[in-house]
Structure 1
Amino acid sequence: MNYKTIKEYVDQNYENPNNYFGAIIDNTVYSLNHSFYPNKKIELLKANTKDGFNILYRTMILTIQLALNRIYPNKLVSVEHFIGRGLYLEFSRGVQVNRKFIDRLDEEIRKIIFEDIKIIRKKVSLQEALRIFKEHGYKEKTDLLETLDREDVDIYFADKIPFTFHGYLAPSTSYITDFKLQIYHPGIVVLFKIDEDKDLFFEEEINLSKSFSKSKKWTNLLDIGYVHNVNEIIKDNQERLLIEVSEAYFENEISKLCDEIVEDDDINFILLAGPSSSGKTTTANRIKVQLTVRGKKPFLISTDDYFTSLSERVLLEDGKPDFESVNAIDIKRFNEDMISLLDGKAITLPKYNFEMGKSETTNTKIYLDRNHPVLIEGTHALNPELTKLISEKNKYKIYISSLTQLNLDMHNRISTTDVRLLRRLIRDARYRNFSALNTLEHWESVLEGERKYIFTYQDSADFQLDSSLIYEINALKKYAKELLLEIGKENAVYKEAKRLLKFLDYFIELEDEKYIPINSVLREFIG
């Protein structure tokens, strides 16, 4: 049987066809409206897959904007970030977020879902796209497009309203099924039903939410909340001030936490943790410098240096070594060293050789006293198992992550996970003997490890530190693009490489790196 599109194939062969949002063919993600040839192997995407969920949440954003138009004409929904298993949104000034508004918005969304409004994708010239978006008052979209060197643009139309999205959408609004809206001032959180056995429940992450808010307040103050702002600065050769301001903001945050540390005489263990590629190593050294200025002389321990040898690593169910859990660390040796420090003894630090896959002995000795606190940095540094012998009053816990507040436009957020992935791709290739293919193949297990072993401890931190730099994606682009282009279509991760390459197209490359300071977090990745 011949089918014109993937949608037609799904409609005729599957019960509940609206449970499928797209498909993977030849390691490439396609929308349901893509032409389909039956001789091709096809993997359909449900909402509980990464690519399927991305299509679902983009379609939801479009649906919310359509609903908002019916309540507040000419007002926009702004996509901010994911938090507590939900998507946090804010609205244009003048939209009153209260229970009455939430109920009305929910009602309009459900009407639009029932109306099954078709979502049509068209390719138009850049000039035509600019005309269309100017007519509809989408300033952020036109500002971004005007900084890009491209001939055409893909536009989605729904109910005669134009949209742009970085990625595919469902064919119509009826693909939205179970959802929940919850007030989270000054905006709302949208919760999605993607697993039948999981309730629509919002898990508030207080520290993370405050960190996002603090970073956004700063970017809004400087009027650099969108990619086009950064692109324009680079086009005008004004990047020096942007870099200096961005670096100064991060240094100021480090200064704040160091002030807190020296004001408390009980603190002699400083714990710095966060997910992969957050800039922990560089930040630990900058904290060390700031504390030295304040009269402390901290010793630095990296939990990475306590990794077990690859030959001794616990194997997972798939037979691969465990790189992500706390069990990848030699906990016994780490705790023995902590006991020695607490007993007033000096210890000799190990050093992990990533190329050889084993720990090596060094000549570095450290000890603990009032003027020599110990700074422990690593992915699992906040895990109580690592420092269970140390009293809580003697610890100061820092959680670091890259929480970029840049958006492509009002409807297209930049994933903080993507920024960390770009950092890791470059670092692994330059310093850890890992190809881009290896990194992408391993990335999902990294994220799973973070969900299990790292994110759960972020709200226990005394200080949440955002290591994102406003200009960094522009600086990372040339390095990441070169690595991603090496990945062939025959590889399963090709779809991810292709997605990242399309994402990087929105950024003007920062060619001259001379203004990036030697102690920048970015230097940890680009050198």
Structure 2
Amino acid sequence: MNIQFSLGKNIPYTAIEISDEITAEELAERYREETPWPVVAAIINHEVKPLITPIHKNDTVQLLDIRNKQAYLIFQNSLILLFICSVRQILGNVHVEVMTSLNDGLFLQVMRHGEDGEFQVVDMSEDDVARTYFYMKKMVQEDHPIEAKMFRRKEAMEILKETGLTEKYRSLQRVKVDETVRIYTLEGYSDFFYNYMVPSTGYVSKFELMKYREGLLLRHPSAQNPGVIPDYVDEYRVYNALKEERQWNHLLGVQYQADINDRIESGAYRTLIKLSEALHDKKIVEIADRISKEEKKVVLILGPSSSGKTTFAHRLIIQLMVNGMKPLYIGTDDYFVEREDTPLDADGQKNYENIDALDLPLFNRQMKDLLEGREVDMPVFNFKTGHKEFGKRKTRLARNGVIVIEGIHAFNHLLTRQLPEESKFRIYISPLTQINLDSHNRIPTTDTRVIRRIVRDNRNRAHTAAMTLHLWPKVREGENKNIFPLSNEADVFFNTVHVYEMTVLKKYAVPLLKEVRQEEEEYAEAQRLLRLFRYVDSLDDESIIAGDSILREFIGGSIYTD
């Protein structure tokens, strides 16, 4: 029979003939020598499917490695399952919490029930970690099958309850339709993941396991380079933000998305929203107080797309004013070079995200003049003509002034190389953590950001979800180059996430995601996000969300951006 076949993204489809009763795994094996990295999933008729999926006549099939977002998550979930089974072999009936992504991998905690009945973190010895690692490697070498079996939702709930995964039982309880649920089993251990798995343990051969602070790091190759585990860099500031978020969630009385769902159902969500917003206020006040105390003159704000930088900057400015300071907000967009001088990317297109797209000599000279008390004629960039205009913004910095700079190159030393290092205070902001669906199914922070952007782009620019999803890989590419490598230079991290925000975003995002047509390239990713939202209840009442909330930047009603 004939099918349309592609070895990967951006590789043209060609017609090939295959035998009947072949799976995507068998097809990938046939072309193994022609694929640069191990294949872990496939797009079949525009939907991501596990490799065990049979292929039929006239199907379109594209092979996926972990450079694809969904394939990356499939690899990651399979690695989590392998770890859970292995650590239970070494330590017995323990509970595993997948906390967040960290240090090019996952931060995990292994727990047991304490005398009070609550889970207590197990301080694994180096020997226990090594034994778990080698057991994982043994299972990889033996290539154990990961079995997938479909159950009616209520049957699956009972299996999870018997396994002790009560939070997953509660999560499935919220699904409105009595759909079938896929339960995965490895070496007698059964679990639920809302994403797919690889067919067997041999697919997840490359990983590291190490002790890290109050838990473990399970590190693996990145989507940027599937063949190599990145060099270890201690992202201790991200860890501290995670620890703070856990403390906040404990104060809020929530641990999983099911807890948020319960608050919505009971009508107790108002206090949750108020507390979440108040915790943001508290943190911003602390940052402003530190800037004042240390007498910093230049505040640099960096963060990836859809972090809420604009709202954060305005709220910080207000707190700095409360402290008697006079902030001067400067956006770097007014310092673009003349359009004809804009550097080009590899495709010959103007690259506005390149640091050289900014007039660095002018920016440095004017910032230095401001710090030294001189008046400057700050430019206003005319995006219609592509040129800077002067004479409209002459200003000088007050004696107790502070310059607040926000932009994708805020931490790049070339941007502020003429300014004294001791005058600078760097703030990195992002949705650094997100409340998880359950102990093993996390909501990636990149999902939070792309959902925020889908909602905002539709509201502000009339973009469809497909348009935003299409542009997202290019956005991520710029972040990986200009933003993430510099995050550890921050003096402080600010986590812009709200534990309740997915419940608010749902009613905006779901209709937009459903509009993505099956023939569109972005359909597979839209379907994955829709699967995630099945476990999130919708909160329709926004009356309690303040006008200065970071979330308002995306859903509308912001006193700063609307």
TM class, shorter-length: over 0.9
In 2: Cα distance, 1:313 partner to 1:436 partner: 29
Q: Aligned residue for 2:11?
A: none
Q: Deviations over 1:449-469 (max 9, x none)?
A: 111111122111111111111
In 1: Cα distance, 2:424 partner to 2:503 partner: 37
| Aligned partner of residue 54 in structure 2, secondary structure | coil
What amino acid maps onto 1:106 in structure 2?
Y
Unaligned 5+ segments in structure 1 are none
Aligned CA distance change for structure 1 residues 87 and 360 (closer, same or farther; 3 Å):
farther
Q: Aligned residue for 2:128?
A: 101
1:410 to 439, 444, 460: 439
In 2: Cα distance, 1:185 partner to 1:292 partner: 38
Does the Cα contact within 8 Å between 2:427 and 2:494 map onto a contact in 1? Answer: yes
| Aligned partner of residue 409 in structure 1, secondary structure | coil
Shift of 1:188: 1.2
Q: Aligned residue for 1:178?
A: 206
Shift of 1:58: 0.8
Q: TM-score, normalised by structure 1?
A: 0.93
Greater mean alpha carbon deviation, residues 339-348 or residues 283-292: 339-348
Aligned CA distance change for structure 1 residues 75 and 360 (closer, same or farther; 3 Å):
farther
Indicate whether 1:245 and 2:264 are aligned: no
Q: Aligned residue for 2:117?
A: none
Shift of 1:361: 6.9
Aligned CA distance change for structure 1 residues 509 and 337 (closer, same or farther; 3 Å):
same
Greater mean alpha carbon deviation, residues 167-176 or residues 315-324: 315-324
Aligned CA distance change for structure 1 residues 148 and 52 (closer, same or farther; 3 Å):
closer
Aligned CA distance change for structure 1 residues 310 and 33 (closer, same or farther; 3 Å):
farther
Greater mean alpha carbon deviation, residues 7-16 or residues 256-265: 7-16
Shift of 1:39: 3.8
Q: Aligned residue for 2:498?
A: 469
1:22 to 41, 54, 63: 41
Q: Deviations over 1:15-69 (max 9, x none)?
A: 5999321112333211101121364342212234433322211111111111122
Does the Cα contact within 8 Å between 1:118 and 1:173 map onto a contact in 2? Answer: yes
Q: Aligned residue for 2:188?
A: 160
Unaligned 5+ segments in structure 2 are 1-18, 112-119, 557-562
In 1: Cα distance, 2:527 partner to 2:385 partner: 32
| Aligned partner of residue 318 in structure 1, secondary structure | coil
Indicate whether 1:370 and 2:395 are aligned: no
Aligned CA distance change for structure 1 residues 524 and 209 (closer, same or farther; 3 Å):
same
In 2: Cα distance, 1:393 partner to 1:525 partner: 35
Indicate whether 1:66 and 2:85 are aligned: yes
Q: Aligned residue for 1:229?
A: 259
Percent of aligned pairs with the same amino acid? 36
Does the Cα contact within 8 Å between 2:437 and 2:443 map onto a contact in 1? Answer: yes
Alignment of 1:505-524 (within 5 A): 505-524=534-553
Alignment of 1:421-500 (within 5 A): 421-432=450-461, 434-500=463-529
| Aligned partner of residue 198 in structure 2, secondary structure | coil
Q: Aligned residue for 2:414?
A: 385
Shift of 1:192: 1.9
| Aligned partner of residue 203 in structure 1, secondary structure | coil
Shift of 1:10: 2.7
Aligned CA distance change for structure 1 residues 197 and 114 (closer, same or farther; 3 Å):
closer
Shift of 1:179: 1.8
1:264 to 294, 312, 318: 294
Does the Cα contact within 8 Å between 2:376 and 2:396 map onto a contact in 1? Answer: yes
In 1: Cα distance, 2:336 partner to 2:100 partner: 33
Shift of 1:270: 1.2
In 2: Cα distance, 1:270 partner to 1:201 partner: 30
What amino acid maps onto 1:169 in structure 2?
M
Aligned CA distance change for structure 1 residues 315 and 41 (closer, same or farther; 3 Å):
farther
Q: Aligned residue for 2:248?
A: 218
Shift of 1:352: 5.9
Aligned CA distance change for structure 1 residues 293 and 30 (closer, same or farther; 3 Å):
same
Shift of 1:197: 6.0
Aligned CA distance change for structure 1 residues 193 and 375 (closer, same or farther; 3 Å):
closer
Does the Cα contact within 8 Å between 1:212 and 1:405 map onto a contact in 2? Answer: no
Give the count of matched residue pairs: 526
What amino acid maps onto 1:215 in structure 2?
E
Does the Cα contact within 8 Å between 1:272 and 1:378 map onto a contact in 2? Answer: yes
Shift of 1:485: 2.2
Greater mean alpha carbon deviation, residues 248-257 or residues 485-494: 485-494
In 2: Cα distance, 1:136 partner to 1:203 partner: 36
Shift of 1:213: 1.8
| Aligned partner of residue 53 in structure 2, secondary structure | coil
In 2: Cα distance, 1:121 partner to 1:350 partner: 61
What amino acid maps onto 1:151 in structure 2?
D
Greater mean alpha carbon deviation, residues 386-395 or residues 357-366: 357-366
Q: Deviations over 1:362-386 (max 9, x none)?
A: 9554321332211112222121111
Shift of 1:136: 0.7
Q: Aligned residue for 1:31?
A: 50
In 1: Cα distance, 2:531 partner to 2:387 partner: 38
